[in-house]
Amino acid sequence: MAVMQIKPNIYSVGAIDWNRRLFDELIPIPEGTSYNSYVIKGAEKTALIDAVDPSKESELIANLQKLGIKKIDYLVSNHAEQDHSGAIPSILKLYPDAKVVTNQKCKSMLMDLLLIPDEKFIVIADGQALSLGGKTLQFMLAPWVHWPETMFTCLPEDKILFTCDFFGSHKATSELFTSIDYNIYDSAKRYYAEIMMPFRTQIQKHIEKVRELNPEIIAPSHGPLYKKPEFIINAYADWVSDNVKNTVLVPYVSMHGSTAKMVEYLVGALMERGIAVKPFDLPKTDIGELAISLVDAATVVFAAPTVLFGAHPGVVYAAYLANAIHPKVKFASIIGSYGWAGKTVEQIKGLLPNIKAEFLEPVVIKGFPKEENFKALDRLADDILRKHGEIGIVK
């Protein structure tokens, strides 16, 4: 529990979740996270921007009390997801004069998710502003970054942009601002991969809008704030661009060593051709690491043994998740081994409708790989090299 001043009359009052390791019961967050919340005191009115996860509402309330906040006029909700809204009902009980300020879509979701009554809301439109007296809240709708109701709040007098999830990172840290050595890059990339990547196209448009605003501080609702926002804006611009790297990812499972031998051979063949390659032994992999690599790899090769008549469920799961986060990979293929028969290729391909990649000829073999199978893997490595050359990423 800590109250930290960002600028005069602007405070960080959220909570740090040092020990959380899983988000949505799905997403690994090895560095914990924070649920940031901000108090802005104007000459006439006081605003709270975003609340916190319900598990941490007592910390938010304690911080507000520590700061001596007697009245909240506006409780701005930039996003309805419960890790930022879950404490709103308790705040409304404690501060009965407070109104929840948000857009129509977010209001509707907050009413559904948290049963907040209609009369508690002030609905704002894109570009609308509310004065606190000497400080202005300016609202900017940002639909599908990453939910349909997401929005940002700008404080023009102080050049601060509150972006909620956008530009966030699941990182528990005592630092209010990112440190000068930019050690936040990997955490932010993981966050982008796991949360934001499915909305790459929408994000491209909003990056330009953020650049036009030219904020001095970006204050997300997870992780530290950015005092040099061009760093994170440029990183996002790179991630959402169509650019890919000369890299092949090989998520795989092997039960008795045949598929592992194929992976080992393919990895070596790609390295010998000057292509970066990352194998992921899925049963031992933090799936977030695979997601991070999918941000900018050119090619993914799923490698699966056949269990009964289909791909191993570990690979099915990875393919399903990869499809869900819409990576910009340009090429894909499938390798693996079976005992008697199976539909591994059709099954994995069918799981990837969102991946607009060109499928290269798969190498699916019977039993342990033999000489002709290694030649087929060399052919696949040659295909990948040629394709990477065609899109200009081979140095």
Chain residues in the site for ligand FEO (CB under 6 A) = 79, 81, 83-84, 146, 165, 222
Least distance from ligand FEO to the Cβ atom of residue 98, Å: 21
Q: Give the residue with the Cβ less far from ligand FEO, 189 or 222.
A: 222
Separation of first and last alpha carbons in the chain = 50
Measure the CA–CA gap between 301 and 297, rounded to whole angstroms: 11
Least distance from ligand FEO to the Cβ atom of residue 114, Å: 14
Q: Give the residue with the Cβ less far from ligand FEO, 83 or 296.
A: 83
Least distance from ligand FEO to the Cβ atom of residue 36, Å: 10
3-state per-residue secondary structure call for the chain: CCCEEEECCEEECCEEECCCCEECCCEECCCCEEECCEEEECCCCEEEECCCCHHHHHHHHHHHHHCCCCCCCEEECCCCCHHHHCCHHHHHHHCCCCEEEECHHHHHHHHHHHCCCHHHEEECCCCCEEECCCCEEEEEECCCCCCCCCEEEEECCCCEEEEECCCCCCCCCCCCECCCCCCCHHHHHHHHHHHHHHHHHHHHHHHHHHHHHCCCEEEECCCCEECCCHHHHHHHHHHHCCCCEEEEEEEECCCCCHHHHHHHHHHHHHHHCCCEEEEEEHHHCCHHHHHHHHCCEEEEEEECCEECCEECHHHHHHHHHHHHCCCCCCEEEEEEEECCCCCHHHHHHHCCCCCCCEECCCEEEECCCCHHHHHHHHHHHHHHHHHHHHCCCCC
Q: Give the residue with the Cβ less far from ligand FEO, 50 or 296.
A: 50
Least distance from ligand FEO to the Cβ atom of residue 50, Å: 9
Q: Give the residue with the Cβ less far from ligand FEO, 59 or 165.
A: 165
Q: Give the residue with the Cβ less far from ligand FEO, 79 or 328.
A: 79
Q: Give the residue with the Cβ less far from ligand FEO, 33 or 344.
A: 33
Q: Give the residue with the Cβ less far from ligand FEO, 42 or 288.
A: 288
Q: Give the residue with the Cβ less far from ligand FEO, 225 or 304.
A: 225
Using CB atoms, what's the residue nearest to ligand FEO?
Answer: 81
Least distance from ligand FEO to the Cβ atom of residue 139, Å: 18
Measure the CA–CA gap between 225 and 345, rounded to whole angstroms: 45
